[in-house]
Every structure is written in structure tokens, then in C-alpha cells.
Amino acid sequence: MIPDGPGKGGVLFDDDKLPILHSEELSGDSDLELCLLGGKFFKKGSRGNSVTKIQKCLIKLLSPAPKNTNGVVDIVHDTVLPKYGADGIFLHETHAAVVRFQLNHGLSPDGIVGKNTLKKMDNLLAPQSNNGQNDPNKSLTKVLEDLLRKNLGKKEDPNPGNDKIDPKDNDLYY
């Protein structure tokens, strides 16, 4: 049972939609799934298998930045987790990598892996299907452009003013 609100008891029905992790790297971890629901987060001091998974994802998603132009290597940005790697301990190095990831993807750079950061990581790692048609990050502009392009190729409606929606018209649904 999942409560509906403070002090209320409720049942989660089959038609209720819960966010789930889709990437192989992150799915199947109960702490990460709880994080995606907003019930947990990972920050400096966090430890464990979930942190190791986050660190491995950061290594995979963040490519090393080039050296500074003056020839001095920026150790924080030259490699993703240069000193400790994916050790399962969330300290300064992991914090810096999370901030870098958040900045690269338009998230609030607080260095904490919460539901938004985890969701972005999962979206980037999850296998893409349907040529991005079900991509939650697809902009409204892109969706409207796609619909307009589909409608331009259709013949004129022989019955103008007929505003009924045909449920068999698959172009209305993704």
C-alpha cells in the first residue's frame, strides 16, 4: 500500500503510472528506484552498491575534457573519476563529477543525485526505441513539426467541418 497523502491510506491501482528505470546499468536496484520516486537521494557520504552504479554511469556518460590551453591538466575534468574510480563511496570526486554532469544537461548543479539527475542519466543510458517517438525529452516544437509534416502529405478532407476523430487513424497516436 502506498499512501495517497499525509495521514491517508490508499492502494496503488494497476492504471497508476510510476516512473521506472529503463537502463540496464541502473534498473533492478531498489534504492535507485526509490530515488526515482523522490524517496531517496545520494550525496557526499553516501555509500554502497547504488553509489557504485552511479559512479560507473558517470564514467560512461562523461567523456574526459581536454587539457587546459596553457598545458596544465585540470585533474577534475581530465578524467571522470581519476583517483578512486567506482569505489561505492560518494565523496568530493564523485560530487564534482555529478556537478559536471548536471551542468552539461541543464540540471541544478547541486552535486546531489536525486530523481531529476537519475532520470536524466537513465534516459541517456536506456536503449532508444521507436526512433525517439516516445522520447519524454522530445520538445513540443518537434512534436508539432512532425504532426504538421504528416498532415501536409494527406489529401484534402472531402467533408470539411467534420471534426469527428476516427479512432482507427493511427497518425493521432504515437
Q: Is the pLDDT of residue 9 over 60?
A: no
CA–CA separation, 58 vs 77, rounded Å?
12
Mean pLDDT (whole number) for 124-149:
64
Ranked by mean pLDDT, the top range of 3-7, 41-45, 139-143 is 41-45
Task: Identify the CA nearest to 123 among candidates 27, 43, 18.
Answer: 27
Least confident of 17-21, 46-50, 110-114, 130-134: 130-134
Supply the CATH classification number for the domain 30-127.
1.10.101.10
Q: Is the pLDDT of residue 135 over 60?
A: no
CA–CA separation, 124 vs 127, rounded Å?
8
pTM (predicted TM-score): 0.60
pLDDT band (50, 70, 90) for residue 170: low
Q: Is the pLDDT of residue 43 over 90?
A: yes
Task: Identify the CA nearest to 28 among candidates 48, 53, 61.
Answer: 53
Average model confidence (pLDDT) for the chain? 76
3-state SS, the chain, equals CCCCECCECCCCCCCCCCCCCCCCCCCCCHHHHHHHCCCCCECCCCECHHHHHHHHHHHHHCCCCCCCCCCCCCHHHHCCCCCCCCCCECCHHHHHHHHHHHHHCCCCCCCCECHHHHHHHHHHHCCCCHHHCCCCCCCHHHHHHHHHHHHHCCCCCCCCCCCCCCCCCHHHCC
CA–CA separation, 15 vs 23, rounded Å?
23
Looking at residue 91, its pLDDT comes to: 96
The residue ranges of every structural domain in the chain are 30-127, 130-153+170-174
Sign of the torsion formed by the C-alpha atoms of 147, 149, 155 and 157: positive
Residues 48-100 have pLDDT tens digits of 999 999 999 999 999 765 555 565 555 445 568 888 899 999 999 999 999 99
Angstrom CA distances, 27 to 22, 35, 38, 99, 173, stand at 6, 12, 16, 22, 28
Using an 8 Å Cβ cutoff, are 21 and 119 in contact?
Answer: no
